[in-house]
Structure 1
Amino acid sequence: MGKWSPLVAVCLGAFMLLVDITIVTVALPDMAHDLNASFTGLQWVLDAYALALAALVLGSGSVADHIGRRRVYLIGLVVFAVASLACGVAPNVEILIIARIVQGVGGAAMLATTMALINVTYHGKDRAVALGLWGAVIGIAASAGPVLGGLFTEYVHWRGIFLVNLPISVIAIWMTMRAVGESKNPHASGVDLPGVVAFTASAGAITYGLIQAGEDGWGAAGTLGWLIAGAAALVVFVVIEIRSDHSMLDLALFRRPAFTVILLAALAMSFAAFAYGPFTSIWLQNVLHMKPLPAGLALLPMSVASFLVAGTVGRHLHSVAARLTVGFGLVVIGVGALLLHTGSSWVAVLPGLAVTGLGVGVTGQALPGAMMATVPPHRAGMASGALNTFRQLGFALGVAVLGTVVRGGSSFDNGLESSYVVAGVVGVVVGVIALLFLRSRDSVDQAKPQQVLGAEV
C-alpha cells in the first residue's frame, strides 16, 4: 500500500469519532418523535458520548502504550462500529443512550492513539505534511457534523447517521491492518484503572445531577444526592492520583498556574461555544419549523468563521503570547454568545454564531501550543490527553447546565436566550482570567513542533 495509507486509516477513524459529537444535533427532534424521548433523554444522547470520551481518553492512552497503539486503535474501531450499529437500530432512547456510551468508549480508544500513530509512522517533512492533513480533517469534521446530520435526517433517516459508520469502519480496519505498524512505549508505567473509574464516576454523577436539576429542581433530594456523590468521587480521584505511582493525570502539574488556566479555558471554550448548539437546533426545527438540512446549514456560520481563521492566520498565532490568544479568543466567544437571540428567522443567530466562530478559530489554534509550552516534554502526551478530556467535559457539562437553563425559562425561546447569556458570561469571565493569570514566565519552552500540532484535537 502507498506511503499515505496509514494516514488515511487514522484520519478515517478521527473523522468518524469527531463528527459523531455533533452529527446528532440536527437529528434530535426526529429522534424525540420516533423514540418518544424526553428532553432529558435527548440531553443524555449527547452527553453519554461526550462523557465516555472525556473519561476514558487518558486511560486509553496508557493502555495503548502498554499493549500497542495499533491494537488499541483497531479495538476502538471495532467497538465504535458495533456501537454505531446498536445506535442505528435502537428501539428506544434507553438503548440508544447505552449504545452511545459504548460508542464513546471506542471513540476514546481512537482519540488516544491517532496522533501517536502519526508521530511514529512519519518523520521529517512527511510528518509535517501528515500533521497538516490530519489537522484539516479535524477542521472539516467539526464543520461537517450538523450538515451531514441534516442531510441524513432529511433525505434518509436519522438512523443513517450511525449506520453510515459501518462501511467507513470496515475500510479503516482493513487499511489499518494492512498499512499501520505497531508501536509501544517501552518506558510506560502501569495503567491507572482506579483513577479512570473514580474520574468516570465523578463526571457521570455530576452531569446526572445537573441534568436532574432541570427536571426536579436544584433542591430536590435526587439532584443534591448525585452532585454530592460526584464531588465525593472527585475527592477519591484526587487521593488516588496523589498516591498512585502511575497516575493518569499528574496533579503536580496543577501547581503551574498556566496549566490550570489552560484546562479551564479548554472547558470554557466547549461550554461557551458549542453546548447551546443542540438547543438552537431544536428551536430552529420545532419553533421556526425548519427542515433538518436547512437547520444544519443555519449552524454553519460558526464553523466557517473558525475554519477561515485557522486557515488564514492560524499558523501565525503561535508567535503571539498565549495570554492574548487564549484570553481574547474566549472573550470573543463570550461576546458572540451574548449576541445570539431568538426571533422569527434563523438570521437572528447568524451574527452571534459568526463572531463565536472567530473566537473558536483563535482559541482552538492557541490552546494546544499553550498547553505544550507549560509542561516538560515527557509530559506532553498526558497534557494533550488532559486537554482533550477537558474539551469534551466542557461540552458534556455545558449541555447539562444549559439544558437546565432552557427548561427553566417561561418559554423555549426565553430559556434559550437565557442559555446564551450564561454561555456568554462563562466565555468572557474565563477569558479575563486567562488574560490576568496566563503568563509566559510559566512556560517550559521545550515543546517540539510535532507535539504542539499533535494536541489539536
Structure 2
Amino acid sequence: MTAPSSRLIVAIAALASAVAFLDGTVVNVALPAMSDELGGGLATQQWTVDAYLLTLSSLILFAGSVSDAYGRVLVLKIGLIGFGVASIAVGLAPDPVTLIIARALQGAAGAFLVPSSLALITSLLQGTAQSKAIGQWTAWTTGATLAGPLIGGVFVDTLSWRYAFLVNVIPIAATFVLLARMKGTDRRSPDARIDILSAALCTLGLGGIVFALIEQPNLGWTHEAIWMPLLAGTVLFVAFVLRQRTAAHPILPLGIFTVRNFWTGNVSTLFVYAALTLNGFVVGVYLQQGAGLSATLAGLASLPATLLLISLSSLAGTLSAKLGPRLFMTSGPLIMAAGSLLLLTVGEDFDYWTQVLPGLVVFGLGLALTVSPLTSTILGAIGGERSGIASATNNAVARIAGLVVIAVLAVIVGGTLDLDGFHRAAVATAALLAIGGVVAYAGIRNPRPASQPEEATNKPG
C-alpha cells in the first residue's frame, strides 16, 4: 500500500488536535453568555473551564500509553467520536450540571486526541520532513488556541455561544474522511497491554493534584478540600512512578527521562507554557475589563501573533532541523520576553496600535521561533515507538504549568487585574520566558548531522 503523504498526515493531526486546543480557549469569552442563559453564577463559569482541564490533565499520560500500545489511528477515532458527542452535549446543554458533565467528557476525549495526533507525525515521518510537519502542526494547533477568543467572541456577539461548540462536528467529520485514507498505517504492539493499576494510580494522582491547583484560589491551601486531595494525589502519583520501575508494561517508561534533550526540553516547556498561559489570560481579560474592548475586538487583538505563528512555524521547524534547535529554543523565548516587556507601555490612555500591537508582534515572532523547534526536539529525542507517551508527557507538563500559574495569578497581579496588575503580569511573563530560554541554552544539545534520534536506552547526557 502507498505510504500516506506528509500533507495528509499533517492535515489529520492538525484537524484532530485543533478542536481540542480551540475549545480550551474559545470557552473563555463565551462564559458570560453561558452563565446568563443557564444560570449558576461564578461557580458554573469556573467549573465549565475546570472540568475540561481536570479530565484532560488527569488522563493524558494514560492516553499516550494507549496510543503507543494500540495504534494512533484507532485512538484518534475513539477520541474524535467522544469529542464530537461531548461537543453536541455542550451545545445543547439545558442546565449547568449537564454543561459541566459534558465539558468533563470533552476534556477526557481531548486527552486521547492530542498525543495520538502528534505521535502520528513522529512515527510516520523522519528527519527534515518530520521537523517541517511538526512546524505545520504547531502553527495550526497553536493558532487555533490563539484564535479561540476571536472565534468565541464572534459567535457570542452575532449568533449564540452554543454554535461555538456545535461547529466542532465539521472538522471532526473532515478528519474521519481523511482517516479513511490511512488504512494499514497503524502500528500496534503484538503484546499490547495496559497496566490497569498503573493507569488508576496515574489518573487519580494527577486528578487530585490538578483539582487542588484549580480550587486553591477559591479555598486557600489550608482548606481540607485542597490539601487532602493534593496530598492524596501526590502520594498516588509517587506510587505510580515507583510502580513504573518494575511494571512489565509501564505507562510511563522512566528511561525516557535519561535522554538529555527530552528532560531539558520539558523543563523549558514548564516555564515557557506557564508564560504563554499567563500572557493569554491576562491580555484577554484586561483588554475587555480594563481597556473596554468587546469580546470580538479582544479576540482580534491577538490576530497578529496568530498570523506570525502560522506563517513562520513551518520555516522555523525546517531551519531548526538544519541548524539545530538550541539557537531557536534560546532566542525565541528571549524575543517573547522582550515583546511582553513592551506591554509595559500600556497606560490609562489606552491605544491598541501604539501600546499593544508592537508587543504582540514581537511576542508572535518569538512564539513562531520557539514552539515548533521545542516540540520537534522533545519528540525527536525519543524513538517513534514511544512518541505517544513522549507527546503526552510534554502536553501534561504544559497543562500543569498553566494550571500552576493561574493558581497563583492573584499573587502575580497583586490581587487585582488593574493597570498595575497588568504590568506586574507582563514582567512575570518576561521572567518566565527568560528562564525558559536560559534552560534551553544550558541544556539542549544540537544533534549530530545525520544522526538517529536518541533512544531512551542511551546514557544520560
Tell me the distance in 1 between the aligned counterparts of 2:378 and 2:384: 11
Which residue is 2:306 aligned to? 303
Tell me the distance in 2 between the aligned counterparts of 1:361 and 1:202: 34
CA deviation vs aligned residue, 1:352-373 (integer Å, no higher than 9, x gap): 3333222221221211332245
Question: Are 2:375 and 1:368 aligned?
Answer: yes
AA aligned to 1:430 is: G
CA deviation vs aligned residue, 1:175-230 (integer Å, no higher than 9, x gap): 54x44425242345422433333333333333332333322334444333333233
Tell me the distance in 2 between the aligned counterparts of 1:375 and 1:286: 44
Tell me the distance in 2 between the aligned counterparts of 1:276 and 1:130: 27
Deviation (angstroms), 1:161? 0.7
Show the 5 A alignment for 1:33-432: 33-36=36-39, 41-115=44-118, 117=120, 137-138=140-141, 140-173=143-176, 176=179, 178-181=180-183, 183-187=186-190, 189-341=192-344, 343-344=347-348, 345=350, 347=352, 348-376=355-383, 378-402=385-409, 405=412, 409-410=415-416, 412-432=418-438
Residues 122 and 380 in structure 2, CA contact (< 8 A), matched pair in contact too: no
Deviation (angstroms), 1:10? 5.2
Look up the SS of the partner of 2:292 in the other structure: coil
Deviation (angstroms), 1:312? 4.7
Tell me the distance in 2 between the aligned counterparts of 1:256 and 1:180: 31
Residues 77 and 106 in structure 1, CA contact (< 8 A), matched pair in contact too: yes
Look up the SS of the partner of 1:138 in the other structure: helix
Deviation (angstroms), 1:273? 1.4
Moved more, 363-372 or 212-221: 212-221
Look up the SS of the partner of 2:263 in the other structure: helix
Deviation (angstroms), 1:313? 4.3
Deviation (angstroms), 1:80? 0.5
Residues 139 and 310 in structure 2, CA contact (< 8 A), matched pair in contact too: no
CA deviation vs aligned residue, 1:271-330 (integer Å, no higher than 9, x gap): 101344234323322333322211100122322333343255442123334333223322
Tell me the distance in 2 between the aligned counterparts of 1:216 and 1:346: 37
Deviation (angstroms), 1:162? 0.5
Tell me the distance in 2 between the aligned counterparts of 1:174 and 1:437: 42
Deviation (angstroms), 1:132? 7.4
Residues 43 and 399 in structure 1, CA contact (< 8 A), matched pair in contact too: no
Tell me the distance in 1 between the aligned counterparts of 2:163 and 2:342: 34
Residues 29 and 285 in structure 1, CA contact (< 8 A), matched pair in contact too: no
Which residue is 1:452 aligned to? none
Unaligned 5+ runs, structure 1: 449-457
Deviation (angstroms), 1:109? 2.1
Which residue is 2:457 aligned to? none
User: Residue 442 of structure 2: which of 433, 436, 440 is its match?
Assistant: 436
Deviation (angstroms), 1:35? 4.3
Tell me the distance in 1 between the aligned counterparts of 2:84 and 2:265: 33
Tell me the distance in 2 between the aligned counterparts of 1:37 and 1:414: 31
Residues 43 and 400 in structure 1, CA contact (< 8 A), matched pair in contact too: no
Residues 138 and 372 in structure 2, CA contact (< 8 A), matched pair in contact too: no
Look up the SS of the partner of 1:214 in the other structure: helix
Mark the CA change 1:432 to 1:112 in structure 2 (over 3 Å): closer, same or farther: closer
AA aligned to 1:398 is: V
Tell me the distance in 2 between the aligned counterparts of 1:22 and 1:59: 23
Tell me the distance in 1 between the aligned counterparts of 2:129 and 2:366: 30
Number of aligned pairs? 445
Tell me the distance in 1 between the aligned counterparts of 2:191 and 2:363: 40
TM-score w.r.t. length of structure 1: 0.82
Identity %: 30
TM-align CA RMSD: 3.7
TM-score w.r.t. length of structure 2: 0.81
Deviation (angstroms), 1:156? 0.9
Residues 275 and 429 in structure 2, CA contact (< 8 A), matched pair in contact too: yes
AA aligned to 2:433 is: G
Unaligned 5+ runs, structure 2: 455-461
Tell me the distance in 2 between the aligned counterparts of 1:124 and 1:328: 23
